[in-house]
Amino acid sequence: MRKIDVCLSPDLIQLYDLCNMAVVVVDIFRATSCMVTAFAHGAQEIVPVEQLEICESFRLKGYLTSAERNGITPEGFDFDNSPFSYQSEKVKGAKICVTTTNGTVAIQRSKAAPRVYVGAFLNISKIVEALKSWDGDALIVCAGWKGKPNLEDTLFAGAVIDRLHGEFQVADDAALMAWKVYNLASSDLLTSVKNSSHVNRLLGLGIEKDISFCLEMDKYAVLPSLVNEALILA
């Protein structure tokens, strides 16, 4: 049977052999939730980059730009890191360059894989469907917070594993633990994440609305996929 594993932090990705894997990168609060939302609202392409300066330089190539550091948007960028920013008319047809504290790092480090998808609760069914039709093993890469594992990305990993039960085998203990943690929380994700330190850090930024939105399941049927340096719809 195919196997599914979970990398709880981008800082552990060197332990995984990506070369035959379908990888799903997740940063629930909020990078990948924003990307999914942007594609659902007509974005044409999203280029994830690690550095602010590189992100700014994409403006000259006709891209809109989006940046976040420590949950806050530096001045001079078109979008912040809220999924509500990506529901406006200007997203339609746009090419967007994005840099965030955790999510874009995780995407960059996953590039060695033959398939890299961007996942969130918002498009979880599309992710599950993509993995079902992939003829090999899968890895969910959690963006975490500055290298540390976080609850919400782990919950997403557990939710995907739960939906793939019977078709994929749990590869290792990180995946097993993600599944267990998800099963504990699945009936009420919002209450469960409210005890999380990372969420408390984010609530300090006044983004309660974002938190609830990012926990909605299957709001959008889009599958962002990395092709060379850019995310496009698969």
**Looking up tokens 């999203």, which residue turns up?**
46
User: Which residue, 184 or 217, has its beta carbon nearer to a copy of itself?
Assistant: 184
User: Shortest gap between Cβ of 185 and a copy of itself (angstroms)?
Assistant: 8
Record the tokens describing residue 219, joined without a space: 């709001």
User: Which residue, 58 or 182, has its beta carbon nearer to a copy of itself?
Assistant: 182
User: Shortest gap between Cβ of 67 and a copy of itself (angstroms)?
Assistant: 23
Asked if residue 186 lies in contact with residue 159, where contact means CB atoms within 8 angstroms, the answer is: yes
User: Shortest gap between Cβ of 179 and a copy of itself (angstroms)?
Assistant: 10
User: Which residue, 79 or 121, has its beta carbon nearer to a copy of itself?
Assistant: 121
User: Shortest gap between Cβ of 148 and a copy of itself (angstroms)?
Assistant: 6
User: Shortest gap between Cβ of 158 and a copy of itself (angstroms)?
Assistant: 10
User: Shortest gap between Cβ of 175 and a copy of itself (angstroms)?
Assistant: 9
The 3-state secondary structure of the chain reads CEEEEEECCHHHHHHCCHHHCEEEEECCCCHHHHHHHHHHCCCCEEEECCCHHHHHHHHHHCCEEEECECCECCCCCCECCCHHHHHCHHHCCCEEEEECCCHHHHHHHCCCCCEEEEECHHHHHHHHHHHHCCCCCEEEEECCECCECCHHHHHHHHHHHHHCECCEEECCHHHHHHHHHHHHHCCCHHHHHCCCHHHHHHHCCCCHHHHHHHCCCCCCCCCEEEECCEEEEC
Binding-site ranges for a copy of itself (CB under 8 A):
8-9, 11-12, 15, 145-151, 154, 170-174, 176-177, 180-181, 184, 195-198
User: Which residue, 127 or 157, has its beta carbon nearer to a copy of itself?
Assistant: 157
User: Which residue, 104 or 192, has its beta carbon nearer to a copy of itself?
Assistant: 192
User: Which residue, 176 or 232, has its beta carbon nearer to a copy of itself?
Assistant: 176
